[in-house]
């Protein structure tokens, strides 16, 4: 996933059916730079194609989950470069994580602010340690939440809660975030990974294909990759028919297929 001389900013550990993806830039509170965005996209492609992985846990190295985008990485960009590359490429990488076929559990072991909360929103479940704070403070420095902080977060958390964070600058505690539906579980400091692993283990005991399809359908219902989900599920259904096998065989044999409708 990285070159020989490139720092590993996204760590991937696979233990059986569970993958743990760790944001590894603790000296910057795991704030994203361009290399980190690229490594996230590459790592997601590895996970997506892994037959063994059935659940993914994401978390941050050190004392933070993710502090969002590194201001030093984007602050000096021209307006066009900021939109064309920083925002668009960030969106692409985040979309890959949100649309993984495997369920994703986020362990908020530290504050999730700005892009960090946008990152947490990609998960299917969020476990927050009780010292954590969440918010979308971008307008305080003259920018907007740019990695779907006003779109996916609204779909997943509700418009008024996002409005309070993005427009009015409110920052919520873990307990408040749970009450508002931003996080699903609150645990004591240092216990987030333990809870996530327990949930992940239970998830691996469920039928993997049914779980994958259920996630895809929920994503489609909330407007996440609706077209791709519908075509993928229909394609899977068609691919399992005798008609497809007959069509492929007939094509190879250079004859007219005899379809039976099953």
What single DSSP character describes residue 77?
S
Give the CA angle between residues 12, 87, 22 to the nearest 5°.
Answer: 15
Spell out a b/e string for 105-122, using b for 16 or more CB atoms within 10 Å of the CB, else e.
bbbbbbbbbbbbbbbbbb
Q: How far apart are CA 26 and CA 240, in angstroms?
A: 47
Please state, in angstroms and as integers, the Cα–Cα distance from residue 215 to each residue in 15, 98, 124, 241, following that order.
22, 11, 8, 24
The bridge status of strand 112-113 relative to strand 125-129 is unpaired
Active-site positions read 118, 138
Q: How far apart are CA 11 and CA 60, in angstroms?
A: 10
């Amino acid at each position: 996933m990285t070159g020989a001389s490139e720092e590993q900013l996204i760590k991937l550990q696979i233990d059986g059916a569970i993958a743990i993806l760790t944001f590894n830039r603790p000296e910057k509170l795991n704030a994203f730079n361009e290399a980190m965005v690229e490594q996230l996209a590459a790592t997601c492609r590895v996970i997506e194609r892994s037959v063994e992985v059935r659940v993914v846990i994401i978390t941050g190295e050190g004392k933070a989950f993710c502090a969002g985008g590194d201001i030093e990485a984007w602050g000096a960009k021209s307006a066009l470069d900021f939109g064309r590359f920083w925002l668009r490429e960030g969106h692409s990488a985040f979309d890959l994580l949100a649309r993984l076929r495997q369920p994703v559990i986020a362990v908020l072991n530290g504050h999730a602010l700005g892009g960090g909360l946008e990152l947490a929103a990609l998960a299917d479940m969020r476990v927050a340690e009780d010292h954590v704070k969440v918010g979308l403070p971008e307008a305080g420095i003259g920018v907007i939440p740019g990695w779907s902080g006003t779109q996916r977060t609204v779909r997943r958390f509700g418009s008024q809660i996002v409005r309070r964070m993005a427009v009015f600058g409110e920052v919520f505690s873990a307990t408040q975030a749970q009450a508002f539906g931003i996080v699903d579980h609150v645990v004591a400091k240092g216990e987030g990974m333990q809870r996530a692993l327990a949930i992940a283990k239970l998830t691996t005991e469920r039928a993997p294909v049914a779980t994958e399809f259920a996630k895809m359908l929920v994503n489609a219902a909330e407007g996440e990759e609706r077209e791709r989900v519908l075509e993928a599920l229909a394609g899977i259904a068609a691919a399992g028919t005798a008609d497809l096998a007959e069509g492929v065989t007939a094509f190879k044999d250079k004859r007219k297929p005899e379809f039976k409708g099953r």
